[in-house]
Amino acid sequence: MSVTWTARNIADHVRAKKLSAQAVLQSFLERQEKWEPKIQSFLVRTRDQALVQARQIDERVTRGEPVGPLAGVPIAIKDNMCVQGLKTTCASKILESFVAPYDATVIRRLREADAVLVGKTNMDEFAMGSSTENSAFQTTRNPWNTDCIPGGSSGGSAAAVAARLAAAALGSDTGGSIRQPAACCGVVGLKPTYGLVSRYGLVAFASSLDQIGPFTWNVGDAALILQVIAGHDPLDSTSVDRPVPHYTNALTGSVKGLRIGLPDEYFVKGLDPEVERAVLESVRVFESLGATVQKISLPHTEYAVAVYYILAPSEASANLARYDGVRYGHRSGNAKNLLEQYELSRQEGFGSEVKRRIMLGTYALSAGYYDAYYLKAQKVRTLIQRDFDSAFKQVDVILTPTAPTPAFRLGEKSGDPLQMYLSDIFTISCNMAGLPGLSMPCGFSSAGLPIGLQLMGRPFEEETVLNAAHSYEQATSWVREPTLS
């Protein structure tokens, strides 16, 4: 086999006894041995557990027992999802020693589908960042150019899939943390509708925005993995109880009559000309496939970043309060009393971006400021949602660039939080409105870096988004393997 096989391909072969799960795993482990030291996408690799899992799958296949839809597929997990018995660090010193006592719902579902977990991937600390440089432990590199960032916050997962160190990966997306690294690394990344995938076991950053989704080699695999992880979970009150459609069946390959909207507000100054050219070229491809394209307006787009940086830190300031050194995680050895234990444990345990956001959020929720910041931001969030509601009366999907530029160089923006925040300018609104959003490769820059296009759909209409993306993918050839050296 080749490591460029899709998850679908691997599972089909394992099920049909044409290939053993152990052989598949072995190919990926060998590739990890070779390239992981260079890419640094994993915080921990779970070779031994994976070997056991692969062997058990093979034994069941041999006995003629049924195996799941992801049988033998090596999959990597962002290190903010709990896997029982494994460290779940969120790339933070404060959780450096934390071992999760339970499986996240997505992990349980992957296990039931017979996916093979190969490790936990690097990320920006607590998913706060756009370059994975905010990890407390290591720097992950972009497989297309190891001097560049892989994007973030799910940079480890994106890089692992792009470098074929795993057949697929899970990431989480609060303001673009799946789609932006997918664009940077030239893979497919899907953020599902808020409420479609259970958040139980995902370490919370901003609860009203967080969603788990897949990184895959192609669109078909994104549909396959979404099929496994989607659906109501009684352990997550915000997960929606409605039947899960058959996503892989929705990939008809036809976009005839599909109405695509191009929002004016996403083609503006600051957008890299190469990115703009590639995205507009993709629009012509869609037209040639029978889709109709029209300009639309999402007038409140310009407030999205500002609103996001009030709401997400507000929720984060409460969500991260539990890391206090009392029950688990880092506890300062220098404290002389309770207050110092809180202060020093958190001071020593959190990185600077996390502290910045905790302070932002604490400020926005403080007495006397709540109305002017949090409440106002909630109102604008509603306006952003309404923009989409009315746009989706005219069109079926909205097409935009995923990020304003291709992957930038390591260190280029790490000293300037505001510049870093603008990396998510095109992905944040999608989270505000809770919509499904997908990024896929649509070209390369002159420097050879992948460029991503984003497709957004109506809530719970992943089928439409996936089918549009699949049709485009069939008509183009942007799914490519980086040359590692």
Partner 1 sequence: MEFESVIGLEVHVQIKTRTKIFCGCPTTFGGEPNSQICPVCAGYPGVLPVLNRKVVRELARTALALKARVNSHSIFARKQYFYPDLPKNYQISQYELPLAEKGELSFTLDGQTRTIGIHRIHLEEDAGKLLHAVGNKALNHTLVDLNRTGVPLMEIVSEPDLRTPEEASEYLSTLRTRLRYLDVSDCNMEEGTMRCDANVSIRPRGQTSLGTKAEIKNMNSFKAVRDALSHEIRRQEQAVQAGERIVQETRLWDAARGVTISMRSKEEAHDYRYFPEPDLVPIHLDAAALEDLRKTIPEMPEQKRARYADQWGLSAYDVNVLTENPSLSGYYEETLTSSWPSEQQAEAAKPVANWVTTDLLGRLNAEHIDPADSPLTPARLGELVMLIQDGVISGKIAKTVFDEMWTTGRAAKDIVQAKGLVQVTDEGAIARWADEVISANEKAAREYREGNERAIGALVGAVLKKSAGKANPQLVNKILREKLSSKPS
Q: How far is the CB of 175 from partner 1 (least distance, A)?
A: 15
* Binding residues for partner 1 restricted to 298-357, rule: CB under 8 A: 314-315, 317-318, 321-324, 326-328, 338, 342
Q: Which two tokens stand for residue 342?
A: 């809180």
Q: Using CA atoms, how far apart are residues 241 and 195, in angstroms rounded to an integer?
A: 9
Active-site annotation holder among 41, 135, 153, 439: 153
Q: How far is the CB of 137 from partner 1 (least distance, A)?
A: 17
Active-site annotation holder among 20, 41, 78, 314: 78
For tokens 């994106």, name the residue.
158
238 binds partner 1 (CB under 8 A): yes
Q: How far is the CB of 435 from partner 1 (least distance, A)?
A: 17
CB closer to partner 1 out of 380 and 484 = 380
CB-based contacts of 322, cutoff 8 Å, min separation 6: none
CB-based contacts of 356, cutoff 8 Å, min separation 6: 417
Determine which residue in the list 207, 292, 414, 474 makes contact with partner 1, applying CB under 8 A: 207
416 binds partner 1 (CB under 8 A): no
CB-based contacts of 340, cutoff 8 Å, min separation 6: 332, 334
* DSSP summary character for residue 114: T
- How many residues of this chain interact with partner 1, rule: CB under 8 A? 44
78 is catalytic: yes
Q: Using CA atoms, how far apart are residues 417 and 426, in angstroms rounded to an integer?
A: 17
Q: Using CA atoms, how far apart are residues 421 and 397, in angstroms rounded to an integer?
A: 25
Q: How far is the CB of 201 from partner 1 (least distance, A)?
A: 5
CB closer to partner 1 out of 204 and 455 = 204
* Binding residues for partner 1 restricted to 95-114, rule: CB under 8 A: 95, 98, 100-102, 104
Which one of 232-240, 287-295, 394-402, 408-416 is the stretch in contact with partner 1 (CB under 8 A)?
Answer: 232-240
Determine which residue in the list 367, 371, 393, 418 makes contact with partner 1, applying CB under 8 A: 367
CA gyration radius, the chain: 21
Q: What DSSP string describes 411-429?
A: TSSTT-HHHHHGGGTTTHH
191 binds partner 1 (CB under 8 A): no
Q: How far is the CB of 374 from partner 1 (least distance, A)?
A: 6
Active-site annotation holder among 177, 439, 445, 471: 177
Q: Using CA atoms, how far apart are residues 286 and 263, in angstroms rounded to an integer?
A: 16
Sheet holding 450-457, edge to edge: 42-45, 116-121, 74-78, 168-173, 211-216, 188-191, 437-444, 450-457, 397-401, 259-263, 292-296
Q: Using CA atoms, how far apart are residues 320 and 355, in angstroms rounded to an integer?
A: 10
204 binds partner 1 (CB under 8 A): yes
CB closer to partner 1 out of 23 and 335 = 335
Determine which residue in the list 50, 54, 136, 203 makes contact with partner 1, applying CB under 8 A: 203
User: Other CB atoms closer than 10 Å to residue 371's CB: what's the count?
Assistant: 9
Q: Which two tokens stand for residue 340?
A: 């110092």
429 binds partner 1 (CB under 8 A): no
Q: Using CA atoms, how far apart are residues 357 and 20, in angstroms rounded to an integer?
A: 47
140 binds partner 1 (CB under 8 A): no
- Let me know how long the chain is: 485
Q: Using CA atoms, how far apart are residues 55 and 284, in angstroms rounded to an integer?
A: 47
CB closer to partner 1 out of 16 and 338 = 338
355 is catalytic: no
137 binds partner 1 (CB under 8 A): no
Q: How far is the CB of 193 from partner 1 (least distance, A)?
A: 15
CB closer to partner 1 out of 234 and 253 = 234
CB closer to partner 1 out of 341 and 427 = 341
Q: How far is the CB of 323 from partner 1 (least distance, A)?
A: 8
177 is catalytic: yes
Contact call for residues 184 and 148 (beta carbons, < 8 A): yes
* Chain positions contacting partner 1, by CB under 8 A: 80-82, 88, 90, 95, 98, 100-102, 104, 199-204, 206-208, 234-238, 314-315, 317-318, 321-324, 326-328, 338, 342, 362, 365-367, 370, 374
- Catalytic residue annotation: 78, 153, 177
